[in-house]
Amino acid sequence: MPEQDVYRACHCGSGKKLKFCCLSVMEDLGRANELEEREQFEKAVTYLEGVLKKGVSERSARTGLRLMVAINLMRLGNGGNEAIDSDRMRTLVQEMLKDTPDHPEVLAIDAMQELQEKGYPAAQKKFSRMLQKINGQQSPWGAAALYGLGDYLLKDAHSLAAIKHYFQSGLLSNAENREAMFEDIAQLVRTAGLLYPFRLNFQLRPIAGLGALLAQFETATKLAAIGCFSDAAKAFAPIARERRNDWQVWWNMGLCHAWAAEDPLAVMALTAASSEAAAADPETAADCLMLARLLDQPGDDIAIETLLQDYTVGSMTRILMLLDESKRLSRVDEKHDHDHDSATAHEPHNPSSVTYAVLDKPLPEDPDPEFVDWPNVCATLMVFAGDEKSNTPAKARLIAVGRENATGLMAYLQEIACGELTPTGELEVELKLFPEQVLCDRNAYVVSKSPLANVKATRASVARKIDLWFQQPQSLLRGLTPTEAAKDPQLAVALRAAVLLMESYFHRRDQLIDVDPIRERLGLPPTPKFSVTDEELRNLGPLSYRRVDLTTAPENVVLTLLLDAQRTEAPILVPCLREVPHRPATFNDPRITEFAQVSLVRFLQRYMRLEEALEVCTLAIERGRKVKLPLQALATWELRLLVQLNIQERSDEAKDVGLRLWTQYIPKLPELRKDLVTALRAQIPEGPWHASDAMIPTAGTTTAGGIWTPGAPAAAEAPGKLWIPGS
């Protein structure tokens, strides 16, 4: 065995030096590691247990051996060979706790077991003890425990707490894995279907003038920094008692309660923050109230339930045939699990599951282009194939919003299923929603003859829902509709919060809502703007980013907001992206403008703001010519413009862009020639780029209008000049 540095930290995570921990069993651990690398996990467990039976005198060394036993037992379970033996693991953990009660990794395994057996918040105390012992240091088991807790909280609808624990797990992971782990977490956050405020990176607010309370504040913030959020909230309580009128104290307490999945307490604290901030800053008060509302549960008197009903299926083939015949059910696009280029590509596809959108009325047979009364999706029906080997029958699950709607759909399914669907159990409540959220969440099922018609129909549907929202009574507005609440000055903060809530509900359905026109209809002033420094931005809540004036902001502020927009894809940052290209030249870095415009086009296309996306592409090309962007960058913008024109079915203009790429860019970009020609062939059905023997124009050839020269008019009868970076 190679010589060991006995004064380095022991690999078991105890925090001790190797000499005072696992040194005496390093050879045994090395042998077990070799078996582990060969995926002989059962042999590794047997070998390590044999070493323990022979007798190991040092307690730390015994824990090191048992930790490796635990690792191999978990890998055996994760490999699918057998379920993890919970009794065996529990005994192992108890033995380790007896030997080393403060070992951070042992405490992490203990917390994970408690979570699996008793759930949360029953496991909260063990997680708190684990985090205090880890104290922000690297801990593979601690990272795994927090990630598991994040999964549990996300399934339990504690989204804000789940995301915070995911990121805390990244902080505890090994340095070499941390960047990849954060990227995985960011991807999960973007794709988890969360309301956008839950994807934001909220921070505790600094509080000035605390005096004798400063030590208490530092204790609370330290607890929050290491992940002990419930303890941190309790530590903020004495400060709140002394400074009842400081909204920032209530904000900090509310945020800690929310991160600890103590949502009712978070709602109370954030509502108090809103009340205290209302007089001085109604916009911040509205932010606090919006977050409180998102964490709150509706009362039984107003709640609309999301309900589940399970079924057993008689014949998978027959039920699919019957469901396909219904005019109120439409199959959702499936992801096929075969290779479309393989020999079996055209064989009958037998999916393991099929999903149907259930509509509130039949689809129109042949709607005219101006048709607007599309049916709404009122439920989802999933059908799962059975498994003959395990004798598992086919099953189905109905997910519907509203009890009356659910019972009506159950009767309809029984009618069309001809006995192939048998209900199992009773209707089960999954979620409770506010009525205004249900209104915004309702999706029109649009099936148009072209993508552009689809976009227009969807936007018309959204406009109708916004009109209905103005007449929807809301408990946040004391039972009034937004139109009625606009007449009551005392509801000005609540009305602002209601607009922000509507924006977040629509955003989850990939709809971008401009809040200022809504505010104007309600008699509210436009969203106010203010300037911030880089330091002030760090202390500013992300919900306030929409109010940052970027026209004269320092570049660090602009870049921070752009990176946050890319990470969270939050709609509140779209106004920021719109402002960046209009900054005075003295304040602007062309690279930042380029970054902002690329991000903005991606946002606008996703949210079907096609006209604005087209305008951004056009302005980006004009700006690029003025500042002499590299030709490769300009060609990319031309391609983006081409895509936008095609989406809007403006084929003549798209062909003009194609000819411009063909004559003015391809001759000067030999390294991109193949990619550009491929893109042109994919985007434009007719043109010289389709001829197999077409001669690609070369630099210096005369074309109609000549080759564009940035900053100078093209010569009509002479070869044009093309600017190249560095020339």
Q: What is the pLDDT of residues 252-277, one digit of tens each?
A: 999 999 999 999 999 999 999 999 99
Instruction: Report how far apart, in Å, the C-alpha atoms of 552 and of each of 382, 517, 576, 582 are.
Output: 52, 25, 12, 10
pLDDT tens for 658-717 read 999 999 899 898 888 889 999 999 999 888 888 755 555 555 443 333 344 444 443 333
pLDDT mean over 638-653:
91
Distance, CA of 89 to CA of 141 (rounded, Å)? 15
pLDDT tens for 552-610 read 888 888 888 888 887 777 888 888 888 887 777 655 677 788 888 888 898 888 888 88
- Binning pLDDT at 50, 70 and 90, where does residue 1 land? very low
Distance, CA of 311 to CA of 421 (rounded, Å)? 6
User: At CA 583, angle to CA 578 and CA 586, rounded to 5?
Assistant: 160
The residue that leads in pLDDT, 380 or 447, is 380
The residue that leads in pLDDT, 521 or 649, is 521
Cis? peptide before 575, omega within 30° of 0: no
CATH number, span 18-192: 1.25.40.10
Q: CATH number for 211-295: choose from 3.50.50.60, 1.25.40.10, 3.30.365.10, 1.10.3720.10.
A: 1.25.40.10
Determine what percent of the chain is predicted with pLDDT higher than 90. 55
DSSP state of 547: G
* pLDDT of 614 higher than 90: yes
State residue 148's pLDDT score.
Answer: 94
Q: At what angle do helices 229-242 and 124-134 cross, to 10 degrees?
A: 90
Which residue in 536, 539, 535, 518 sits closest to 527, CA to CA?
Answer: 518
pLDDT tens for 72-98 read 888 886 654 455 678 888 899 999 999
Out of 195-209, 475-489, 503-517, 682-696, which region has the weakest mean confidence (pLDDT)? 682-696
22 token code pair: 């696992």
What architecture is domain 537-690? Answer: Alpha Horseshoe (1.25)
Determine what percent of the chain is predicted with pLDDT higher than 70. 89
State residue 477's pLDDT score.
Answer: 96
Kindly report, as residue ranges, where domains of CATH 1.25.40.10 are found in the chain.
18-192, 211-295
Kindly report, as residue ranges, where domains of CATH 3.30.160 are found in the chain.
304-335+350-433
* pLDDT of 208 higher than 70: yes
CB count within 10 Å of CB 332 equals 12
What is the three-state SS of 384-417?
A: ECCECCCCECCEEEEEEECHHHHHHHHHHHHHHH
Cis? peptide before 121, omega within 30° of 0: yes
Residues for the chain: how many in total?
727
Name 296's Cβ contacts closer than 8 Å, sequence gap at least 6. Answer: 263, 267
State residue 108's pLDDT score.
Answer: 94
Out of 25-29, 221-225, 226-230, 689-693, which region has the weakest mean confidence (pLDDT)? 689-693
Distance, CA of 533 to CA of 538 (rounded, Å)? 9
State residue 708's pLDDT score.
Answer: 42
What amino acid is encoded at 59 in this protein? R
Q: Are 200 and 542 in contact (CB under 8 A)?
A: yes
CB count within 10 Å of CB 178 equals 15
Distance, CA of 273 to CA of 165 (rounded, Å)? 24
pLDDT mean across residues, the chain = 86
CB count within 10 Å of CB 258 equals 28
Q: Where are the alpha helices (DSSP H) in 543-629?
A: 555-568, 574-579, 590-606, 610-627
pLDDT tens for 400-449 read 999 999 999 999 999 999 999 999 999 999 889 999 999 988 888 877 76
The residue that leads in pLDDT, 192 or 118, is 118
Name 310's Cβ contacts closer than 8 Å, sequence gap at least 6. Answer: 395, 396, 397, 398, 423, 424, 425
DSSP state of 551: S
State residue 334's pLDDT score.
Answer: 54
Distance, CA of 610 to CA of 150 (rounded, Å)? 37
* pLDDT of 42 higher than 70: yes
State residue 565's pLDDT score.
Answer: 80
Put residue 244 in one of left, alpha, beta given phi > 0 → left and psi -120 to 50 → alpha.
Answer: alpha
DSSP state of 20: G
Q: CATH number for 304-335+350-433: choose from 3.40.630, 3.20.140, 3.30.160, 3.40.50.
A: 3.30.160
Q: Where are the alpha helices (DSSP H) in 420-470?
A: 435-441, 451-470
218 token code pair: 């530092």
Burial 691-725 (b: 16+ CB within 10 A, else e): eeeeebbeeeeebeebbbeeeeebeeeeebbbbee
Cα radius of gyration (the chain): 31
